[in-house]
Amino acid sequence: MEPMRKLMLLTGALLLGLQAFAQTPEDLDRDRSKYATYSFRKDDKYTVEKPYQTVSVKQPKSKKIKNIIFMIGDGMGLNQVSVGWVANGGALNMDQMPVAGYSLTYCLDRLVTDSCAGGAALAGGEKTKYGYIGADKDGNPMVTSLHLAQKKGKKTGLAVTCRINDATPAGFVNHATSRKEEESLAAQYIDSGVDFISGGGTHFWNQRSDGRNLIEEMKAKGYTYVDKLEDIAGAEGDKFLGLYDEYDLKPALDRGPILMESTMKAIQMLDNKKGFFLMVEGSQIDDWCHRNKVGYMCEELFDFDKVIGAVLQWAEKDGHTLVIVTADHNTGGLSLLKGSIEERTVKVHFSTGGHDGIAVPVFAYGPHAEDFAGVHENSEVGEIVKNLLK
């Protein structure tokens, strides 16, 4: 090939290459959102037809704490709160809580925790190992905020939508080094002294491998037993056991207002001169994030948030009740990608069917609410609660 022709061909190739890499005016645009791809499935979208009304409350002036209501949304990160807020038209009862912070949820041996270690940190005020329920890093029973409340002569209670021997509720009362010890965790309630117990899991109470009927044992100890929603409000006595399903409770729209009825019944039964400690869990926010179903997740969050609203209204009248709302961990890698506040529509993406390591919100209302402002380890949230009980 002639030298001149070879040079021309190389020059042409170089110019073509430079032209291919040259930036067009469109490439200089900083709006990169145009490159996003949205592949929505049926379970990634949700529209709320009828939003519920949220409450309005004022922060009480008192600094004296008589009662503590510790409310945990299982798997409820700021992601889930944000999605629910849009889907309900831009309002949640959590909005009424004057103090906010966030909690770092990692456990001792894993960055991404589970409900066992996450719940134990909130209950006992110290981080522990993955899978440990109400137990420290050496497997020894923790002294939890509920135990401290009992020592001070306060009444105590649990109201959840999962089986009552699951990680979070059991972590406030019982102990195990594996969540598989379900029969043992149920049996530990017999001598726990907890005044009010409400959730699911009859299978572990009266269909046990050891032949025991724990429900009958609790009745013998003076507990009123309830297994239907319509019987909660009228239950009498000063000790209550409510178990409404063989395992976990049905989804929110199917089970009805069991969490609302049981929480308000607990407040009614536990309220006394010395005060009470009540843990309430919206347990199945986590379950539906695991399944990547945003509609079911929203309804579980709404169910929990409605209870928060009723609790805040009661606490405002009482004036001496501290209410804390937080989560044990985040679930689902949930992202809010599209939607409309006005149309109450959300379109989301789940990046995982498991837990993730993103920090979770902490909200507080009532005396000493300011103690929960800022950034905390999850164990610090539990430690603050315990210190307020000492």
The domain ranges of the chain are 66-351+366-389
pLDDT in tens, 187-232: 999 999 999 999 999 999 999 999 999 999 999 999 999 999 999 9
Task: Give me the count of residues in the chain.
Answer: 390
CB 40 within 8 A of CB 292: no
Q: Is 184 a catalytic residue?
A: no
Task: Return the sign of the alpha-carbon dihedral for residues 258, 259, 260, 263.
Answer: positive
Q: Which H or E run includes 267?
A: helix 258-270
Give CA–CA dist 387/49, Å, rounded: 44
CA separation for the pair 299, 353 (Å, rounded): 18
Across the strands, what pairs with 21?
Answer: none
In the predicted model, what is the mean pLDDT of residues 8-25?
47
Residue (of 139, 70, 90) closest to 279 by Cα position: 70
Q: What is the pLDDT of residues 142-189, one digit of tens each?
A: 999 999 999 999 999 999 999 999 999 999 999 999 999 999 999 999
Place of tokens 């019982």: 174
Residue 18 pLDDT class (50, 70, 90 cuts):
very low
Give me the pLDDT at residue 11, please: 46
Task: At 260, list the tokens.
Answer: 């609302």
User: What is the spatial distance between Cα 63 and Cα 370, in angstroms, rounded to a whole number?
Assistant: 11
The widest CA-to-CA distance across the chain, in whole angstroms, is 106
Q: Which of 379, 304, 311 is nearest to 128 (CA)?
A: 379
Cα–Cα distance for residue pair 366/99, rounded to 1 Å: 9
Which of helix, strand or coil describes residue 151?
A: helix
In the predicted model, is pLDDT for residue 248 greater than 70? yes
Closest CA to 202 of 248, 168, 160: 248
Domain covering 66-351+366-389, topology: Alkaline Phosphatase, subunit A (3.40.720)
- Percent pLDDT > 70 in the chain is 90
- Measure the CA angle with vertex 290, ends 91 and 327; round to 5°: 50
HSE on the CB side for 138, CA within 13 Å? 3
Neighbouring C-beta atoms of residue 281, cutoff 10 Å: 31
Residue of 146, 196, 153 whose CA lies nearest to 175: 146
Q: Per the residue annotation, which of 56, 62, 103, 115 is the catalytic one? A: 115
pLDDT-based confidence at 41, cuts 50/70/90? confident
